[in-house]
Copies of this chain bind each other. A is one copy, B any other.
Amino acid sequence: MKTNPCKIVDCTIRDGGLVNNWDFSVEFVQTLYAGLNEAGVDYMEIGYKNSPKLLKGADSAGPWRFLDDSFLREVIPQKGKTKLSALVDIGRVDENDILPREESMLDLIRVACYIKDVDKALELVQTFHERGYETTLNIMALSNVMENELLEAFEMIRESVVDVVYIVDSYGSLDHKDMEYLVEKFKKHLPNKRLGVHTHNNMQLAFSNTLTAAELGVELLDASVYGMGRAAGNCPTELLVTHLKNTHYNLRPVLDLIERLMIPLREKEEWGYLIPYMVTGTLGEHPRSAMALRASEDKDKYVDFYDKLTTPEVNFDPKHK
């Protein structure tokens, strides 16, 4: 039986940190790493490698927002088979913070950008590649990108050293037909690159879209335990682990992580399929208005929220009602 070439990239700490301002204890992250390793998950994205100097309001965030190599070494003194990954944003990373790979705990550095910054992102990719890391380019908000911009980006990407190019459904607005369309387009224009996918669960399609992508040959599959991630969250790691055919993942350690870590956390923090996120997903919008609504007293006033988003002359701002 042919082995499935898919690899799971668990983003619980990195994308989940957007929910709780990266307020995960060291013990939490250690337990998560041990469990993912036991489950056979290929990568754990343990946070952002941005620089606090380049970000306002950075003081309050947990350490996973600005990963430090010596700190990481204390957190994970003994690495297992699960590789470590970090995400950086254009304009927020200081290249001098990135050690050569042989001196770092990290294996993979992923660069997130909007389409207009692909050139800058590829410069960073080049640097990280030269320092020995595996690299990915994660183009966000693809649903709002025009064809001509995408084709221009493809040209640059084709000539670059980046290992993997991601299809990112930032707004959770894609269905399986959209996903098929994008994967085929990426395959056609980037025949020399491996592909990855990152989904959001606004319309309960994160897992389904990830499966669709995997069946079409997309190799790196982003997920998070119990779906923890910004707003509607991500494709649940537990579903990929149990459902992907011809793989060697184990569900049991992930169930243990959910039981011990995620259920208590979900009591305090909110993510997942909630109606305001469904609304922004179906409208193809960034979830920030829905996140503001959920943080307000009107968090369950769905009809008002929908009316504001669908009435052109009204601006939505819950602070100025």
Interface of A toward B, CB cutoff 8 Å:
175-177, 201, 203-208, 211-212, 215, 236, 238-239, 242-243, 251-252, 255-256, 258-259, 263, 273, 275, 278-279, 282, 300-303, 306-307
8 Å CB contact of A255 from B205, B256, B275: B275
Q: Are the C-beta atoms of B303 and A252 separated by less than 8 Å? A: yes
Which residues from B are CB-within-8-Å of A279?
A: 255
The answer to whether residues A258 and B211 also contact, given A204-B239, A239-B278 and a CB cut-off of 8 A, is no
Smallest Cβ-Cβ distance to A239: which chain B residue: B203
B302 touches A259 (CB 8 A): yes
Distance in angstroms between the alpha carbons of A275 and B302 in the assembled complex: 27
Q: Which of B177, B206, B263 contacts A300 (CB 8 A)?
A: B263
**Given A204-B207, A205-B208, A256-B302, 20 other A-B residues pairs in contact with their CB atoms under 8 A:** A175-B208, A175-B243, A176-B212, A177-B215, A203-B243, A204-B208, A207-B208, A208-B208, A242-B278, A243-B282, A251-B282, A252-B303, A252-B306, A252-B307, A255-B302, A255-B306, A259-B275, A259-B300, A259-B303, A273-B273
Q: Nearest chain-B residue to A208 (Cβ)?
A: B208
Partner pick for A303 among B205, B238, B242, B255, CB 8 A cutoff: B255
Residues of B with C-beta under 8 A to A203: 207, 239, 243
Instruction: Tell me the minimal C-beta distance from A149 to chain B in angstroms.
Output: 26
Q: Pick from A207, A273, A282, A300 the residue with the most CB of B within 10 Å.
A: A273
Query: Whole-angstrom distance between the alpha carbons of A279 and B211 in the complex?
Result: 18
**Chain B residues, Cβ within 8 Å of A282:** 242-243, 251
- In the complex, the chain B residue whose C-beta lies closest to that of A304 is B259
- Nearest CB in chain B: distance from A10 CB, A: 17
Known contacts A255-B303, A302-B255, A302-B258; A278/B238 CB under 8 A: yes
Please state the number of chain copies in the assembly: 2
Q: Write the nearest CB–CB distance from A180 to chain B, whole angstroms.
A: 11
Residues on the B chain within 8 Å of A215, using CB: 177
Q: 29 A-B pairs, CB-CB below 8 angstroms?
A: A175-B208, A175-B211, A176-B208, A176-B211, A203-B207, A203-B239, A204-B204, A204-B207, A204-B208, A204-B239, A205-B207, A238-B275, A239-B278, A242-B282, A251-B282, A252-B303, A252-B306, A252-B307, A255-B275, A255-B279, A255-B302, A255-B303, A255-B306, A256-B302, A256-B303, A258-B275, A258-B302, A259-B302, A273-B273
Q: A255-B275, A275-B238, A300-B263 are in contact. Are A206 and B204 (CB under 8 A)?
A: yes
Tell me which residues across on chain B come within 8 A of A256, comparing CB atoms. 302-303
CA A233 to CA B187, docked complex, whole Å: 36
- Docked Cα-Cα span, A36 to B123, in Å, equals 53
Residues on B with C-beta less than 8 A from A204 are 201, 204, 206-208, 236, 239
